[in-house]
Amino acid sequence: MKRSIFAGIAIVMITMIMFISITLPQPQQLMSQEEEAATSEQHGKRTESSFHKKEKSKHFLSLSSSVQAEGSQLSEKKMEELIHTFYDKLIQETDERNFAVDYTSKDALIESFTSISTTKLAKEYVDFYYKEYNNELYLVPTETPAWFVKGNDYQVKQSSENQVKLTQRNQSDLYGNYTITFTFAQQDGKWKLVGIEHK
């Protein structure tokens, strides 16, 4: 009887030991899982780092393309248009007394140039050709400046990324042989006249 009891207890204990040994993970298995998790985390970091590098690269490429696109917008037609508009604004229509019809002050006339040239350049020319008298703007009787001649050849040179120069050599009875250079630059996203040089 006692032997039967001890035998039954032994069988139960052996069965429990075998069950525990089967269900519990082995140390090697635990290490593999930990290594796998670490490897997965490192891979995730590398993937994230690679993604950010690609995004930065795209950003710099788009900036470079934008600058190149802006630098190519100034056509010869646009340059000629800016030159002629500047001249037309400078030589205003006047009445029989030589007073400007549309403007009564230098400041107002200079302000009208802001879309095509710098204020500094406009002021240089307006100060030379106009005087103010009794709230009126007087055009000083003098010769118009040596200027660009439509139809004559000229050279265009890009002096920097956002600056272009147009140079033309002409001849006239009044001024003889002369060279005029117009400098254009980008300001506030627009091309404007920023300098005029006579030689």
Q: What pLDDT does residue 99 have?
A: 98
Contact between 102 and 111 (Cβ < 8 Å): no
Region of poorest pLDDT, from 18-27, 38-47, 49-58, 160-169: 49-58
Angle at 31 between CA 27 and CA 36, to 5 degrees: 150
Instruction: Name the 3-class secondary structure at 132.
Output: strand
DSSP letters spanning 58-76: HHHHHHHHHHHHHHT---H
Reported as a single tens digit per residue, the pLDDT across 90-120 is 999 999 999 999 999 999 999 999 999 999 9
Domain edges within the chain: 76-198
Contact between 135 and 141 (Cβ < 8 Å): no
Nearest to 145 by CA among 110, 187, 182: 182
Contact between 118 and 194 (Cβ < 8 Å): yes
**Crossing angle for the helix pair 119-129 and 76-90, to the nearest 10 degrees:** 40
Cα–Cα distance list, 131 to 103, 112, 113, 135 (Å): 12, 17, 18, 10
Q: Provide the pLDDT confidence category of residue 188 given band limits of 50, 70 and 90.
A: confident
**Fold for domain 76-198?**
Nuclear Transport Factor 2; Chain: A, (3.10.450)
Q: List the alpha helices (DSSP H) in 24-172.
A: 27-71, 76-90, 106-111, 119-129
Nearest to 79 by CA among 148, 178, 172, 171: 148
Instruction: Give dist(CA 9, CA 51) in Å, integer.
Output: 63
